Structure 1
């Protein structure tokens, strides 16, 4: 959407509730309705209150600035939800754990802490190196400064690299 489309499409509301699976378990992203209408190559001026309340909004969203790098941040939050099995914002948790990104960032590069924060429903059944690489991608996506976040195409490539390294050589990614 950011790099392949002309003009580029900035979603501006990427969150787990907008990630759907079809009958074949292929991913579909919803709620893109007005995204193509936003001025492309630039910055959009939007109110940041709703998204940041739920923990998906990039820090720059508070000042009404939204770019493709803001979508990368939101995607990082989504991946963090997948990793931990937790919501981006959970007011039932203790104060230091309510915002998922704030709670998780200090733990993403500590392998023991990282192992403890993984979704318990995975029952410890995941390759440790893949977990570490996934955490590195997440960490880069949720950088507070937009210029330090990767482009979405880099994120996709890094995720595909993890999959390729973990799949048996006789399986293709589309299987």
Structure 2
């Protein structure tokens, strides 16, 4: 669940609240999970208003696809909540891995799950727990994590999700050692996250996610990304409303400036958060990090002005992706992040447009990674960089231009233009350049 701003940080922001909505709405809102190409479209029915309490939740017919578990079943699924079953911990509470099978409930097909137990002393409470059940209990989409069930007995509040084998994006993006995410994987994850947001914004009654960050993007074994943690999600403005007024909540460094200052929430607030996420993936740095030099504490303030300058951008891009991207693709993604991070909400693109831009890069990214993989498997070492212009050389005694010493490479290091290199390699003599 998203972590709220600290008391010290929140004190600086104006906060506005809206009266609690009363009454029930029994309409059912269920999206077809196989609508992979219909990003942003929704069914004609509306999502019911968030339940006010447990009794309201249990009486609403919109949750028939979500199982209700007992606390004893949850204890069995997690081997009595064994410490070595802990997957992580956040503002909501502790997350355990578990298995629901015939030992837990007779006739239940063995299913790996992640089980979150609400910490009564944590940042979130029943309101966020109910919101999570309300949204994920009735929304179904390939880029939203699936809610399998919940438990609400006495003081115990638990949520049961599908198990995402690779954990969070945060875990992979900011790791100091070991394998890192390639350019194509990062772009795939960005596209998946964008599709999830576009789906939410495109619903008949739009939904504002409000807590996009690397910790809330979960990855399966194939690095398919899904949005999780809907405790801070809100229904978007309706009718002639231009925004929703609400308390300022979320994760520091991701919140849009206009939302922080006024409490006015719109779908463009999510677009700003996506821009922060995209910037983190490009640079491999966290949105907020006080261990960096003072002027770099806030990643957006430091890096956004550099995104439209090729040479400056190349100096700050995550060096672990060196040679994995084309210059045009890099500048397109950087330009997209720049637009998403606009101080003016109207200057930010809609998420459907973001999806279109990232989809246009998908095929090129897949081709380039495949080629680089084949090169490494053939034992070839290739350094991709731009060849120096004539003005960078020096003249010898015969008036012939000569490259400076720093630009000379050994024969094993080919100096090539990336786009031309990829084109030439594809048209190589092999009938199928993807096969060895």
The two structures, once aligned, show a CA RMSD in angstroms of: 2.1
What are the residue-to-residue correspondences of 1:64-83 with 2, within 5 Å? 64-83=263-282
* Alpha-carbon shift at residue 165 of structure 1 (Å): 4.2
Match of 2:243 in 1: 43
In terms of fraction of residues, the more helix-rich structure is: 1
Q: 2:272–2:348: 8 Å Cα contact kept in structure 1? A: yes
CA–CA distance in structure 1, aligned partners of residues 213 and 219 of structure 2: 14
Conserved? CA contact 2:210–2:250, under 8 Å: no
Shift of residue 161, structure 1, vs aligned partner = 1.2
Is the CA contact (8 Å cut-off) linking 2:268 and 2:345 kept in structure 1? yes
What is the SS of the residue equivalent to 2:343?
Answer: coil
- Greater Rg over alpha carbons, structure: 2
Q: What SS is found at the alignment partner of 2:208? A: coil
* Correspondence 1:101 to 2:314: no
Q: Give a deviation string over 1:5-40, Cα, whole Å, max 9, x none.
A: 1211110111111111022321110112352x5344
Count residues in correspondence. 167
2:224 is aligned to: 26
Quote the offset at 1:96 in angstroms: 1.1
Decide whether the 8 Å contact of 1:2 with 1:152 is kept in 2.
no
Q: Tell me the residue number matched to 2:210.
A: 12
Measured in 2, the distance between the counterparts of 1:66 and 1:34 equals 12
Deviations 1:80-134 (CA, angstroms, capped at 9, x unpaired): 0000000000111122101111011110011011111111211343211100000
Query: What residue is the counterpart of 1:60 in the other structure?
Result: 258
Structure 2 unmatched runs, 5+: 1-198, 371-436
Which residues of 2 match residues 129-168 of structure 1 at below 5 A? Answer: 129-168=328-367
C-alpha change, 1:106 and 1:155, in structure 2 (3 Å) is: same
Residue 290 of structure 2 is matched in structure 1 by 91
Q: What 5-or-longer segments of structure 1 have no aligned partner?
A: none
TM-score under structure 1 length normalisation: 0.86
CA distance in 2, matches of 1:127, 1:108: 15
Mapped to 1, the partners of 2:358 and 2:250 lie a distance apart of 29
Aligned partner of residue 207 in structure 2, secondary structure: coil
Contact 2:236 2:266 in 1 (8 A): no
Q: Deviations over 1:53-91 (max 9, x none)?
A: x21011111111111000000001000000000000011
* Bigger mean CA offset, 94-103 vs 119-128: 119-128
| Distance of 2:298 and 2:249 partners within structure 1 | 15
Structure (1/2) with the larger strand percentage: 2
Q: Give SS of 1:20's match.
A: strand
